[in-house]
Structure 1
Amino acid sequence: MPELNHHKINYVEFATKNLSASKLFFQTVFNWQFKDYGPEYSAIEEGGLDGGFYQADTCARTENGSALVVLYSANLEATLQSVTAAGGIVIKEIFPFPGGRRFQFLEPGGNELAVWSDI
């Protein structure tokens, strides 16, 4: 089994300006669960890929050269509504791209992510 994971993306960590706000947002919108490891780090559980958030003065934004993490949705419009209802800020409205449609948003901790759908 270890050979199957060799050189594969295994874990993603996000800096966040507000750890508790990021956790609440992702719990509310995407039903992610978290396990805290002290006051400044929380591991993502049930997020599709293992990872975590750590308290920092910076965050991930594509305008600063950050990689863009893209989540999948079977109902893009409903996810967009959930994102905004939970305090996310849409920075790119739904737009088409080869293979589907997506939007990009900022979560309350400052990170930029996207959500896409092939529908």
Structure 2
Amino acid sequence: MSNSSSDSKLVHEQIQYLEFISSDLERAKKFYSASFDWNFTDYGPEYTAFDGKYVDGGFTVGTPVNGSILVVLYSNDLLSTRDKVVRAGGTIVKDIFSFPGGKRFQFKDLDGYELAVWATE
């Protein structure tokens, strides 16, 4: 996730990050910079993160598909949130893993939608 996030955006178990798929990252950056004044930070050739006032997000290289946005929630306690997801009937599809900026896991809800939850540690 973006390193420039302010702590005021990190609200426990609320949507904090949206991840889009784009076939052209430069085109996406130009469009969203012009449209919404988002700032971008590149993390290699296949990922760029953006900063918005109330939510952050990113774009990864791929073929856009309707419904392909990955909704990412923030947690103060990743293990506790993971346990709550499992108890509620969610299916873990990517168990807790580290990435630059923190850790996260991904799950499918009861309708099959995939979401992620991340923490700074």
- TM-score bracket for the superposition, by shorter chain length: 0.3 to 0.5
Relative to total residues, which structure has the larger strand share, 1 or 2? 2
Q: Which TM-score applies when normalising by structure 1?
A: 0.47
Q: Which TM-score applies when normalising by structure 2?
A: 0.46
